[in-house]
Amino acid sequence: MSELIERLRDGLPPEAVLTDPDVLGSYAHDMASFCEAGTPAVVVLPRTVEQVQHVMRTATALRVPVVPQGARTGLSGAANATDGCIVLSLVKMDRILRIDPVDRIAVVEPGVVNAHLSRAVGELGLYYPPDPSSWEQCTIGGNIGTASGGLCCVKYGVTAEYVLGLDVVLADGRLMSTGRRTAKGVAGYDLTRLFVGSEGSLGIVVRATLALRPQPPRQLVLAAEFSSTAAAGDAVCRIMAEGHAPALLELMDRTTLRAVNDLTRMGLPETTEALLLAGFDTPDPAADLAAVGKLCTAAGASQVVPAEDTAESELLLQARRSALVALEAVRGVTMIDDVCVPRSRLADMLQGVAAIADRHGLTIGVVAHAGDGNTHPTVCFDGRDPDEARRARASFDEIMALGLELGGTITGEHGVGVLKKEWMARELGPVAMELHRGIKQVFDPLGLLNPGKLF
């Protein structure tokens, strides 16, 4: 280990090489604290591409695994350390290098916080749509690594659709550029998309060229209360079938509403079984909300309340963004599923999760990006109680099995990490897994990059 530290310090400033045991422990895992994590040998915080290359050359020379990290807001253990690894934290590479209103692109380093980028481009009348719930903390590099989504995906799509090109440091320290800065381009295989969602297992993203959109009008949000999740699911189907294009379509069940009220004292309705939020950023959002309100009423909504202004709308969105933190406070630990199903099966998913919660005697709250069928059943449990933890894990697995049974996928935006490795193999099958391992071998023949993740 002394040789590793010495070599790292040869190409990094002293403050960029951390070895204090308490500090190392703080970098051991992401927000999925219940996932297994090892103890890193060292944490490095490079500020330049050349410094990242030095880290990877050192790791290759000494055969030391490297775990890339951003803000560690992930929920699948993808950023968890392995014993004796180098944790490569990219949070100090946080510069917005270029914003181009003509080409509608931003060139950024991986440590740029999502919300910081959104505000910077907003000042120029532009818009970067991907907005995970943790957007005030999560970084663009982490968003790329996990192919993250957010509340606006139903209209604007996910991170992968906004990554035009990447600069990537490979396992042996070489620097490679992928993609383009142009509006179109089809030269060669789409290596950019290959890196998006690869969870740091193929290379280290050190720069990203991102597509931007013109800034839309400020959105207005409607809240609709339902006496059953089936009725809420029916409303979602009606809204989409009628051709509406909401900027967001979010759902919170009664368990989640109670948890948010306990945390924030917002006074959300706790007697309803599901609250549906629909937002529009169109030229006439009030008219769109009125039309959607009628569809919600036809589906069985007991009350439909459109926000009168953007301040009320933002309050409703803040309640939604608080959901996962609020659910964690219920029992101290949460195991957050990320199952995406066809919109037409959303009600079946919600009803199935409720049955699983009853069967295991657990509290499971559900929040969902209802417009694209991406549900986040959140199992609340006491991590100090072995039996409760066992039941939590069993319910988690049953929820993933249910998602696959309904024609869905085990992860819509949180990634695989260590949490869902076995389930990824079940979903993709042996042929696809063989090809995944072959691709990994090409990019990382020594298996040093984020070992133990994905497969």
pLDDT in tens, 118-151: 999 999 999 999 999 899 999 999 999 999 998 8
pLDDT digits (tens, 9 = 90+) for 40-87: 999 999 999 999 999 999 999 999 999 999 999 999 999 999 999 999
Contact 236, 371 (CB under 8 A): yes
Q: Is 414 in contact with 136 (CB distance < 8 Å)?
A: no
Q: What is the DSSP string of 342-385?
A: -GGGHHHHHHHHHHHHHHHT-EEEEEEEGGGTEEEEEEEE-TT-
pLDDT in tens, 332-346: 889 999 999 999 999
Query: Quick check: helix, strand or coil at residue 405?
Result: helix
Torsion angles phi and psi, residue 327, rounded to 5: -70, -35
Whether residue 34 is predicted with pLDDT greater than 80 in this model: the reply is: no
CATH number for the domain formed by residue range(s) 96-214: 3.30.465.10
Q: Is the pLDDT of residue 308 over 90?
A: no
CATH C-level class of 220-405? alpha beta
End-to-end alpha-carbon separation of the chain, Å?
27
pLDDT band, very low/low/confident/very high, at 183 (cuts 50, 70, 90): confident
Model confidence at 1: pLDDT above 80? no
Task: Indicate whether this model's pTM tops 0.75.
Answer: yes
Relative orientation angle of helices 254-264 and 310-321, to the nearest 10 degrees = 100
3-state secondary structure of 117: helix
Rounded to 5°, angle at Cα 371 from 77 and 301: 120
Are 342 and 371 a contacting pair, CB within 8 Å? no
Residue with tokens 């890196």: 195
251, two tokens: 């759902």
Q: What is the mean pLDDT of residues 401-406?
A: 98
What is the domain partition of the chain in residue ranges?
2-89, 96-214, 220-405
User: Which carries the bigger pLDDT value, residue 195 or residue 35?
Assistant: 195
pLDDT above 90 (res 32): no
Amino acid 89: pLDDT: 98
Q: CA dist 79 to 32, 201, 205, 324, 414, Å?
A: 9, 11, 14, 19, 12
Rounded Cα–Cα distance for residues 47 and 397 (Å): 40
CATH architecture of 2-89: 2-Layer Sandwich (3.30)
Q: Do 116 and 106 form a contact (C-beta atoms < 8 A)? A: no
> Does the pLDDT at position 357 exceed 90?
yes
